[in-house]
Amino acid sequence: MDEEKPTSLFARRLLVVTVTLTALWLILPLLVIVPISFSGENSFAFPPRTWTLQRYVDLAQPMWIGALINSLVIASLVAVGASFLGTLTSFAITRSTSRLIVIVRALVLAPQVVPIIIVGLGIYLVFLRLDLNGSYVGFVLAHTVLALPFVVIPVAATLQTFDRDLERASASLGAGPIATFIQVTFTIIRPALLSGTFLAFLSSFDELVLALFLQSPSLVTLPVLLYRRMTDTIDPTVAAVATIQLLFVTTCMIIALFLQRRKDSNDQAPAAET
């Protein structure tokens, strides 16, 4: 399939140049952050004139640690909740014969296309009355709603192409419904569920708009703190957080790549569906 040559040499070179430029446009801006994190000045001047490691030392302050812990706790709970509820919903969407299920599907996906500010202001009004603002419960509930599509889209897609004869075969061979689910169905949806759970975690960890409405002085998440340190003050500590996150993400991706290569290069690029 890769042998054909429909494009002339010129077109091919043009494509390579364009794609390289696009890749640079995606990556280079991120690398600009790294030197700023070592800046000795209280500005975002690039390149910095003086250098220090103080920003990384500052991160040990309770303010940053506290925000990080809050974000991690909330994102973990959201990941668990969204993957559980998302799996249930995916089964319902793909296996129900009811016509109303179309509405459920639309409802689950809607929070991602409705402008976030509308959802945020609405939640603010309701949670104020329920006294959920500034609480873990409020954050987890709100973020779970936003994270559900990340689980439902891939898991439902996997279930749609899933050969139900496998379940019947398992049942006819004597496995009970629970054993069938664990050994057959779950094994097949596991990759989709894992990536969905990961994206759900990430969406909560990164979420800022709802967090701005839900936060309280006693409950601040990492994005809220970062946003404040970018707008209220000019604090290069933000760049230190970004650098650590960049390093972490890169390491995770290299590990994932390595694991995948070991698992045999079965060239299957994960195609996304939206």
Partner 1 sequence: MVVPVLILLGVVFVYPTSIFLLRAFTHFNPPQVAGLDNLVWFLGDETNRIILVRTFTVASMCAVLTAIVAFPYAYCMTVIGPRGRTIMLGVLLLSMFLGILLRNFAWVILLQYQGPLNDILDAIGLDRIRFLGTAPAVVMGMMHILFPFMVLPLYSVLNGIDRRLVLAAQSMGATPMRAFRQVYLPLAMPGIIAGALLVFVLALGFFITPALLGSPRQALMSQLMFLQFDLQAAFGRAGAMAIVLLIIAMVFVILSNIVQRRSRAYGDAS
**Looking only at residues 219 through 248 of this chain, which bind partner 1 when binding is defined by CB under 8 A?**
223, 226-227, 230-231, 238-239, 241-242, 245-246
Cβ closest to partner 1, residue 196 vs residue 223: 223
- Determine if 253 is a binding residue for partner 1 (CB under 8 A): yes
- Determine if 265 is a binding residue for partner 1 (CB under 8 A): yes
Cβ closest to partner 1, residue 95 vs residue 190: 95
Cβ closest to partner 1, residue 173 vs residue 269: 269
DSSP the chain: -TT---S-HHHHHHHHHHHHHHHHHHHHHHHHHHHHTTBSSSS--SS-SSB-SHHHHHTTSHHHHHHHHHHHHHHHHHHHHHHHHHHHHHHHHHH---TTHHHHHHHHHGGGTS-HHHHHHHHHHHHHHHT-TTSHHHHHHHHHHHHHHHHHHHHHHHHHT--THHHHHHHHTT--HHHHIIIIIHHHHHHHHHHHHHHHHHHHHH--HHHHHH-BTTB--HHHHHHHHHHTS--THHHHHHHHHHHHHHHHHHHHHHHHHHT-----------
- Determine if 161 is a binding residue for partner 1 (CB under 8 A): no
- Determine if 166 is a binding residue for partner 1 (CB under 8 A): no
- Determine if 29 is a binding residue for partner 1 (CB under 8 A): yes
Least separation in angstroms between CB 174 and partner 1: 26
Using CB under 8 A, which residues numbered 107 to 146 contact partner 1? 107-108, 110-111, 113-119, 121-127, 141-142, 144-145
Three-state SS letters, 212-262: HHHCECCECCHHHHHHHHHHCCCCCHHHHHHHHHHHHHHHHHHHHHHHHHH
Residue 239, class by beta-carbon neighbours within 10 Å (0-12 exposed, 13-18 middle, 19+ buried)? Answer: buried
Cβ closest to partner 1, residue 113 vs residue 173: 113
> Count of residues binding partner 1 (CB under 8 A)?
83
CA 119 – CA 146 distance, rounded (Å): 10
Binding test (CB under 8 A) with partner 1, winner from 80, 104, 171, 175? 104
Least separation in angstroms between CB 49 and partner 1: 11
Cβ closest to partner 1, residue 8 vs residue 97: 8
Least separation in angstroms between CB 265 and partner 1: 7
Using CB under 8 A, which residues numbered 66 to 85 contact partner 1? 85
- Determine if 88 is a binding residue for partner 1 (CB under 8 A): yes
- Determine if 162 is a binding residue for partner 1 (CB under 8 A): no
Least separation in angstroms between CB 132 and partner 1: 9
Least separation in angstroms between CB 119 and partner 1: 6
Binding test (CB under 8 A) with partner 1, winner from 63, 72, 92, 166? 92
- Determine if 209 is a binding residue for partner 1 (CB under 8 A): yes
